[in-house]
Amino acid sequence: MASNSPSHPPSYIAFEGGEGSGKTTQTRLLAARLGAVLTREPGGTPLGGRLRELLLNTEDVALGARAEALMMAADRAQHLEEIVLPALASGQHVVSDRSLYSSMAYQGAGRQLGIDAIASLNDWAIDQRRPDVVVLLTVPTDVSGERLDRSLDRIELAGADFHRRVGDAFVEMAAAEPQRWLVIDGTGSIDEVETRLWSALKPRL
> For residues 56 and 200, which CB has a smaller minimum distance to ligand TMP in the complex?
56
156 lies in the site for ligand TMP, by CB under 6 A = yes
What is the residue type of 140? P
Q: Measure the CA–CA gap between 108 and 203, rounded to whole angstroms.
A: 31
Task: Provide the angle, in degrees to the nearest 10, between the axes of the packed helices 115-125 and 65-79.
Answer: 30
Q: Measure the CA–CA gap between 80 and 86, rounded to whole angstroms.
A: 8
93 lies in the site for ligand TMP, by CB under 6 A = no
103 lies in the site for ligand TMP, by CB under 6 A = yes
167 lies in the site for ligand TMP, by CB under 6 A = no
Least Cβ distance, residue 1 to ligand TMP (angstroms) = 27
98 lies in the site for ligand TMP, by CB under 6 A = yes
Residue 149, C-beta contacts closer than 8 angstroms, at least 6 positions apart: none
> For residues 91 and 172, which CB has a smaller minimum distance to ligand TMP in the complex?
172
> Roughly how many angstroms between the first and final C-alpha of the chain, as a whole number?
14
Peptide bond into 178 cis (omega under 30): no
Residue 202, C-beta contacts closer than 8 angstroms, at least 6 positions apart: none
Exposure of 126 in the CB half-sphere (CA atoms within 13 A): 24
Least Cβ distance, residue 56 to ligand TMP (angstroms) = 6
Q: Measure the CA–CA gap between 74 and 48, rounded to whole angstroms.
A: 8
> For residues 103 and 138, which CB has a smaller minimum distance to ligand TMP in the complex?
103
> For residues 171 and 205, which CB has a smaller minimum distance to ligand TMP in the complex?
171
Least Cβ distance, residue 107 to ligand TMP (angstroms) = 6
Q: What track of x and - describes contact with ligand TMP for positions 21 through 60 (by CB under 6 A)?
A: -------------------xxx-------------x----
Residues lying near ligand TMP in the complex (CB under 6 A) are found at 19, 40-42, 56, 72, 97-98, 102-103, 106-107, 155-156
